[in-house]
């Protein structure tokens, strides 16, 4: 029988790996970036706000002892995505792990949505995820190892009023995950999606301050509360690590039981 240390040795160790986490200056993205650094990875932090990205990158580097840096990039623009990954390769090396977390939410009645609303949401949530993953695939294929994690939502599977465009963008992440997984499985690249329910993040602060809406959502969550950011860490680490080598094409819900009903 294997000893405890032999059983777990290396399964969740990211030493020597290079990771990119987009949308990583707050909320779930920041928690994921911290986790990967604590597990031994060198991490590039990306955000539309360059100053925030630099600040968070330095903070994670100081806490983890790993080489990390922050950089600004607009995930709606493929040219800026290419610039980001060129810089990461120069600074840290070939990307082993991509967490395409950058996204925007939109709470708006469908009849009041504009073409700009549609383009902004789809371009960041879907187009940004697609072109980020496309950028890292050639080197991952050459290396015969890679982890790509898209961030979906419970609304990849269900819907709520006033969320039509957002729901469409997150439903598309499921298809993207499965297609990328099938195309790249033979190359040692695992592609999965994390689909969170309501978490205590800045994105959801408007809901927390709206007593009626907050109560309505709580009634849908069997565990009776929103998730805490620390509760994303274990799943993110698993999907980024050697432990997930037989997991690909999965869209894993982490929602307090909401979608089990």
CATH assignment at residue 19: 3.40.50.720
Alpha carbon distance 161, 205 (integer Å): 18
Phi, psi of 23 (to 5 degrees): 60, 45
- Is residue 214 part of the annotated active site? The answer reads no
Can you give the pLDDT at residue 7?
Answer: 58
DSSP states of 42-108: EEEEEES-HHHHHHHHHHHHHHH-S-EEEEE--TT-HHHHHHHHHHHHHHT-S--EEEE--------
Q: Is residue 3 part of a domain?
A: no
Our count of domains for the chain comes to 1
Question: Which pair of tokens denotes residue 89?
Answer: 């390769």
Q: Is residue 9 part of a domain?
A: no
Check 38, 166, 214, 238 and give the catalytic one: 166
Query: 159 with 167: CB under 8 angstroms?
Result: yes
Radius of gyration of the chain (CA): 18
Can you give the pLDDT at residue 172?
Answer: 98
Q: Is residue 101 part of a domain?
A: yes
Can you give the pLDDT at residue 1?
Answer: 45
The one-digit pLDDT tens for each residue of the chain (261 residues) are 455 565 577 899 999 999 999 999 999 999 999 999 999 999 999 999 999 999 999 999 999 999 999 999 999 999 999 999 999 999 999 999 999 999 999 999 999 999 999 999 999 999 999 999 999 999 999 999 999 999 999 999 999 999 999 999 999 999 999 999 999 999 999 999 999 999 999 888 888 788 888 998 999 999 999 999 999 999 999 999 999 999 999 999 999 999 999
| Confidence (pTM) | 0.95
Q: Is residue 45 part of a domain?
A: yes
Alpha carbon distance 163, 24 (integer Å): 23
Show the domain range for 109.
14-260
- Nearest residue to 157 (alpha-carbon basis) of 174, 139, 178: 174
Give every strand in the sheet of 18-22, ordered side by side.
68-72, 42-47, 18-22, 97-100, 146-151, 189-196, 251-254
CB within 8 Å of 54: residues ≥ 6 apart: 69, 70, 71
Phi, psi of 147 (to 5 degrees): -135, 125
Q: Is residue 5 part of a domain?
A: no
């Amino acid at each position: 029988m294997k000893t405890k240390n032999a059983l777990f040795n290396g399964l969740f160790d990211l030493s020597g790996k290079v990771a990119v986490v987009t949308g990583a200056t707050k909320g779930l993205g920041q928690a994921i970036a911290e986790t990967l650094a604590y597990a031994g990875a060198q991490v590039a932090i990306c955000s539309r706000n360059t100053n925030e990205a630099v600040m968070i990158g330095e903070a994670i580097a100081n806490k983890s002892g790993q080489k990390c840096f922050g950089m600004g990039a607009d995930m709606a623009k493929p040219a800026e995505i290419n610039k980001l990954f060129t810089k990461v390769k120069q600074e840290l090396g070939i990307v082993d792990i991509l967490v395409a977390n950058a996204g925007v939410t939109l709470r708006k009645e469908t009849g009041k949505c504009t073409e700009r609303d549609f383009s902004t949401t789809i371009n960041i949530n879907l187009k940004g995820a697609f072109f980020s993953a496309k950028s890292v695939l050639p080197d991952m294929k050459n290396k015969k190892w890679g982890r790509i994690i898209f961030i979906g939502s419970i609304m990849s599977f269900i819907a709520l009023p006033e969320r039509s465009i957002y729901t469409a963008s997150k439903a598309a992440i499921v298809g993207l995950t499965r297609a990328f997984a099938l195309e790249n499985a033979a190359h040692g690249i695992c592609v999965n999606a994390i689909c969170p329910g309501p978490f205590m993040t800045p994105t959801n602060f408007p809901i927390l301050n709206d007593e009626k809406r907050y109560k309505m959502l709580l009634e849908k969550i069997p565990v009776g509360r929103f998730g805490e950011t620390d509760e994303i860490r274990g799943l993110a680490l698993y999907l980024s690590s050697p432990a997930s080598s037989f997991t690909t094409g999965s869209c894993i819900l982490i929602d307090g039981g909401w979608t089990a009903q």
